Amino acid sequence: MSSYDKEPIIAIDGWEREAWAGYASIAGRLAEHAAGRTRTVVVVECYPGVRIEEIAAGFSPLRPARVIRAEDAALSAELLQAKLERYLTDDRVFGYMAPFHVDELYDGKKLEFLAEQIEEVQEGVILVIGFGATLLTKGDVLVYADLARWEIQQRYRSKELGNWRANNEDEDILRKYKRGFFVEWRTADRLKRSLLDHVDYYLDTNRKDDPRMVTGKALFAGLRETVRRPFRLVPYFDPGVWGGHWLEEKIGLEPRENPYAWGFDGVPEENSLYFQYGDIRVELPSINVVFFEPKALLGEQVYARFGAEFPIRFDFLDTIGGQNLSLQVHPLTDYIREQFGMSYTQDESYYILDAKEGAVVYLGLKEGIDPGSMMADLEQAQQGEVSFPADKYTNTFPARKHDHFLIPAGTVHCSGTDAMVLEISATPYIFTFKLWDWDRLGLDGKPRPVHIEHGKRNIQWDRTTGWVERNLVDRTERVAEGDGWVEERTGMHELEFIETRRHWFTAKVPHNTNGVFHMLNLVEGEEAVVESPSGEFAPFIIRYAETFIVPASVGPYTIAPTSRSQGTRLGTIKAYVRTCTNR
């Protein structure tokens, strides 16, 4: 039975009286604001994807004299499409990072009309709701309705939800995700960052007809608590055409018709957090802690370099009993900036958490190949004329448990079958240019997107066998040791900003963030305990394969075997941003 915790919580003590569950309780709390007042304007600002009509119905006990739906003042679908078109592009997967603020998506005259309707009502409760509601008024009571990106994606997939004002519920999921990623979420995040620390209440709308609400003060108490201690994100797992069976068996997941391919437990832009206020659990996007506690979380040096963005992610790629990943390459920094508006690129590495005999990683090109011939073969394969002879052009290296393969942008690569990869990567995680996908269709029965033209412009043709062996394959160097522990540098390559260190230990290991956040995974052993030498946080138990974050503000901490792990060798892999002071 797996001990992996699929529902990690962060207990927020002392704020239990400032949390409510269910529409009846929440509406009752808001009604208290209206009691004794002639007129109360309740504003519910919404993240795109929130079920607005559900909230309006749930707030009906307030008996609003008028309900104003802010989105009635939005640009028409046609005008909105014309405005966004340059950023959406014709590509199925990739767009360009859009610079919009919410007011640019609205019609000024229509906003004036709705504002007049609010002012017309002189008595009772006026409910103003929608994405952009605060363009009309901040009101007397301000509620922010939020939800996690993974939940948005589930609503996209079920066709319950289309993009904002797009009427495209039946559109290809990749195109809906693209519009969310490049346009809607960027715009909504700008509004959230300008607004959230001023709200009276925060409304968790992740579960249908089951809302949770906390005061703004209780929410920010939770954010402050999070950056004072190690914590885990709420993981999620997704099937894929090449999926294996390791995640199902080792993590303890429910079997699926299509095997799990991905596991995400270290992607703050996509994962969520569970805050526990007494008996009430509130789910919020983990990006919120990045937005509102960036210095304490990231550290000043990382914040100065990346802004309020978490630049490292950990995720799982499971091909054990499955198939090869697509043969792929990631964009160079200049290319991703010019083509997609991203400020840094997807450098990464494969840490082999587990592997079967015969597993391999495809990495780099063979010596002396002709680029023109390789591209011609890729194009023929994409047209369905032949299968691409990957072994003719790419190196394969045996993949054994605890090997570490470095993959700076521009390097052709993929994991073969029968490997369980812990992918340690820079955060721009959708920028994969597939070159070849092994003659297969996606789970939707459609060809998976292949981007040969993008790939051709980014492949570094000089990353051939000798260079790859010297620079990218299992570069392990012992850098420190103590009583019962050894520290090894396992990467990354000098072209990448991520540093990785592995610790083998049977006794307590000292660590120090030195002002820069750490992201870690327990890659060997049943469980360990993370502790503060000065008792600044409660002992924090981690279990095999769990990813966790240690905020920069924590400073010194230790990791040691628990009583259940005594007498066995444990291992952690740690990643952090390489800076001028921690190389």
- CATH code: domain of residue 216: 3.40.50.300
CA distance 269 to 14: 28
Q: Write down the pLDDT at residue 580.
A: 55
CATH number at residue 318: 2.60.120.10
Question: At which of 437, 471, 505 does a domain end?
Answer: 471
3-class DSSP assignment, residue 80: helix
Residues 418 and 546 in one domain: no
Work out the angle at residue 267's Cα, subtended by the Cα atoms of residues 263 and 273, and round it to the nearest 5 degrees. 95
The answer on 466 and 481 residing in a single domain is no
The three state secondary structure string of 29-59 is HHHHHHCCCCEEEEEEEECCCCCHHHHHHHC
Rounded Cα distance, 388 and 107, in Å: 51
Q: Are residues 407 and 528 in the same domain?
A: no
pLDDT of residue 492: 64
In a domain, 251, yes or no: no
Exposed, middle or buried by CB within 10 Å (0-12, 13-18, 19+), for 343?
A: middle
Q: In terms of DSSP bridges, do strands 477-482 and 394-398 run parallel, antiparallel, or are they unpaired?
A: unpaired
User: b/e map of 439-465 (b: 16 or more CB within 10 Å)?
Assistant: eeeeeeeeebbbbbebbbebbbeebbb
Amino acid identity for residue 322 in this structure: G
Note whether residue 237 is domain-resident.
no
Considering the domain boundaries, does residue 233 fall inside one? Answer: no
Domain-located, residue 16: yes
Residue 560 neighbours by CB under 8 Å, 6+ apart: 505, 507, 508, 509, 528, 529, 531
Instruction: Name, in order, each residue with C-beta under 8 angstroms of 54's C-beta and a sequence gap of 6 or more.
Output: 205, 208, 209
Q: Tell me which residue of 6, 450, 442, 4 sits closest to 261, measured CA to CA.
A: 442
In a domain, 250, yes or no: no
Burial of 50 (0-12, 13-18, 19+ CB in 10 A): buried
5 part of a folded domain: no
Phi, psi of 475 (to 5 degrees): -80, 90
Q: Which residues does 502 contact at the CB level (< 8 Å), separation at least 6?
A: 402, 404, 476, 487, 488, 490, 523, 571, 572, 573, 574
Q: What pLDDT does 449 receive?
A: 80
Burial 308-318 (b: 16+ CB within 10 A, else e): bbbbbbbbbbb
DSSP H/E element including 520: strand 518-524
CB 395 within 8 A of CB 468: yes
Backbone angles phi, psi at 571, to 5 degrees: -145, 140
> What is the value of pTM for the model shown?
0.96
Helix and strand element counts for the chain (H, E)? 17, 31
Distance CA 308, CA 368 (A): 44
Please tell me the distance from the alpha carbon of residue 469 to that of residue 395, in angstroms, as a whole number: 10
Please name the residues in contact with 74: beta carbons below 8 A apart, sequence gap of 6 or more. 80, 105, 106, 107, 110, 132, 165
Together in a domain, 207 and 317:
no
Domain range for 131 is 10-226
Q: How many CB atoms lie within 10 A of CB 538?
A: 12
Distance between CA atoms of residues 552 and 163, nearest Å? 36
Per-residue tokens: 121: 């009502």
Residues 185 and 166 in one domain: yes
Q: Return the SS3 of 364.
A: strand
Q: Are both 30 and 83 inside the same structural domain?
A: yes
At 430 the pLDDT is 84
**CB of 177 closer than 8 Å to CB of 168:** no
Lookup: tokens for 86: 């340059």
Q: Which residues contact 49 (CB under 8 A, 6 or more apart)?
A: 147, 151, 152, 155, 161, 164, 180
388 and 403, same domain (yes or no): yes
**Prior bond to 492 cis, omega within 30?**
yes
State the distance between the two ends of the chain, measured CA to CA, in whole angstroms: 40
- Edge to edge, the sheet with strand 485-491 lists 477-482, 485-491, 498-505, 570-577, 518-524, 547-550
445 and 515 in a single domain? The answer is no
Tokens linked to 163: 């993009």
68 and 145 co-located in one domain: yes
Q: Which of 226, 252, 270 delimits the end of a domain?
A: 226
Same domain, 419 and 484: no
Chain centroid to Cα 537, Å, comes to 26
Helix, strand or coil for residue 396? Answer: strand
Q: What is the pLDDT along the chain (583 residues), one digit of tens a residue?
A: 679 999 999 999 999 999 999 999 999 999 999 898 999 999 999 999 999 999 999 999 999 999 999 999 999 999 999 999 999 999 999 999 999 999 999 999 999 999 999 999 999 999 999 999 999 999 999 999 999 999 999 999 999 999 999 999 999 999 999 999 999 999 999 999 999 999 999 999 999 999 999 999 999 999 999 999 999 999 999 999 999 999 999 999 999 889 999 999 999 999 999 999 999 999 999 999 999 999 999 999 999 999 999 999 999 999 999 999 999 999 999 999 999 999 888 899 999 999 999 999 999 999 999 999 999 999 998 888 789 999 999 999 999 999 999 999 999 999 999 999 999 999 887 889 999 999 887 777 777 789 999 999 999 999 999 999 999 998 899 999 999 999 999 976 677 899 999 999 999 999 999 999 999 999 999 999 999 999 999 999 999 999 999 999 999 999 999 999 999 999 999 999 987 566 5
Domain count, the chain: 3
Residue 553 token pair = 């503000």
Tell whether 35 and 131 lie within a shared domain: yes
Residue 529 domain-assigned (yes or no): yes
Residue 303 contacts residue 295 (beta carbons within 8 Å): yes
Q: Do both 221 and 77 map to the same domain? A: yes
